[in-house]
Amino acid sequence: MLAYAAAVTFPHENVQYYVNEIAIRFSHRRLYQGSAMIALIEAALFTILLIRRLKEQPARRSVIACWVLTIALIFGTWRLLTANNVELVHYPQYVLEGAALLALTLSPIESIAWILIFGGLDECYQYWDLMGGKHVPYDFNDIYMDLLGGAAGVLIGMAFFRCERREPSLGDWRQILRRPGVIAVLSITLFGILLAISGVMLLYEDKANLHYWFALSRDKPPEYWFINPLFGPYRFHTLSPVEGPVLIFFTLWVYTILERRVRVVAK
């Protein structure tokens, strides 16, 4: 898993090349079928591991409920926001990072917040370097998949610590907002809003405007739901620069329930 995560995170060009070679030799259909089969096997193995490790945990119901929610969100994202099954690689890509961050922070929401930042930086590299100048959007779809993969890793990591039940209180929000990862995410968001208000950042590229620094998208999809034969066989939706952040923040808010109901304690 560690070798896999490193391989698909850094040299994107090499990964894309080998995936394309597999498609040429075995056909795209078998590539997509194989990707789906691997994802299902991983989901089953991680679920078994999670349930076995949580068997004696006081807060096992909350953790398992969040695991079921995460699997449901992954299924919904696969169905609505992905062009082909190869994009399922995003989820295991961030599982180890999520588990490692939980070990460092003992905080589910802070770990997920850092995953969001790492996924955003990954997409920055693709948007401005690998895809520089091409008519593509800053891919919030991929960031959202990275976020869910990291959340799955956080939940798996929780199974290796002691998870105690706790009663939610209003004071929890003060602690959550003081988490370094959460502060970093909110700061980036505030900075982005200020850039947009000042006009130096646009949501969509405008070649007639010579007074902005960059745009979050160099392309507008032809319609809300569409099929791109170059990407894959599925009809999907590309999250806009507004929809992406809104969906991400809503999901982060949902995972604060886990933070407020479960205390992670190092054994």
Q: What are phi and psi of 6, to 5 degrees?
A: -65, -40
Structural domain boundaries enclosing 60: 2-265
| Structure confidence at residue 266 (pLDDT) | 86
CA 243 to chain centre: 15
Percentage of residues in the chain having pLDDT higher than 70: 97
Nearest to 96 by CA among 179, 8, 14, 209: 8
Q: Write the pLDDT tens digit of every residue in 152-195.
A: 999 999 999 999 999 999 889 999 999 999 999 999 999 999 99
Q: Which amino acid is at 22?
A: I
Q: Write the pLDDT tens digit of every residue in 126-144.
A: 898 878 878 899 999 999 9
For the chain, how far is it from start to end, CA to CA, in angstroms? 24
Q: Which pLDDT band holds residue 10 (cuts at 50, 70, 90)?
A: low
| Structure confidence at residue 12 (pLDDT) | 66
Q: Which amino acid is at 94?
A: Y
Q: Which pLDDT band holds residue 13 (cuts at 50, 70, 90)?
A: low
Number of compact structural domains in the chain: 1
- What is the CB neighbour count within 10 angstroms for residue 159? 21
Question: Is the model's pLDDT at 203 over the cut of 90?
Answer: yes
